[in-house]
Amino acid sequence: MSINVKIPSPLRGLTGGQAEVPVEAETVDEALKQVSVEFSGFGEKVLDEGGQVRRFINIYVNEDNIKDRDDLGTAIQAGDTISILPSIAGGA
């Protein structure tokens, strides 16, 4: 089914400037792999060597952090939106 993956501005250099990438997928994992195949370098930024979401990335399906659902196995439905968000932190 067709869903949209929203790309944050720091990663748009890897998607040719696209803020939104449409994919056909049943799970978050499938969706991210499709974006990775389409755009070289994207997968390495979002997923680690073990195929898990990198520590400084948050992924939401609609309003839900996938950590609170089934992580990369989270099922998606037509019309859902996957948002990739940079984790923002720091301090003195």
Partner 1 sequence: MLIIPRPLLKQIHKHMEETYPHECCGLIIGTTGDKKAVELFRPCRNLNNERAADRYELDPKDMLLTQREFEEGPWDIIGIYHSHPDHPSKPSQFDTDRAWPGYSYIIGSVNNGSVEKLQSWELNESERKFYEEPLDIQEEE
* Residue 50 found at the interface with partner 1 (CB under 8 A): no
| Residue closer to partner 1, measured from CB, 37 or 82 | 82
Contact criterion met (CB below 8 Å) for 57 and 51: no
| Residue closer to partner 1, measured from CB, 37 or 85 | 85
Rg of the Cα atoms in the chain? 12
* Residue 73 found at the interface with partner 1 (CB under 8 A): no
* Residue 19 found at the interface with partner 1 (CB under 8 A): yes
Of the candidates 87, 77, 89, 90, the residue with the CA atom closest to the CA atom of residue 10? 87
Contact criterion met (CB below 8 Å) for 47 and 76: no
* Residue 92 found at the interface with partner 1 (CB under 8 A): yes
Alpha-carbon distance of 34 to 25, in angstroms, equals 8
The residues of the shown chain that bind partner 1, judged by CB under 8 A, are: 6, 8-10, 13, 19-20, 56, 58, 60, 63, 65, 83, 85-92
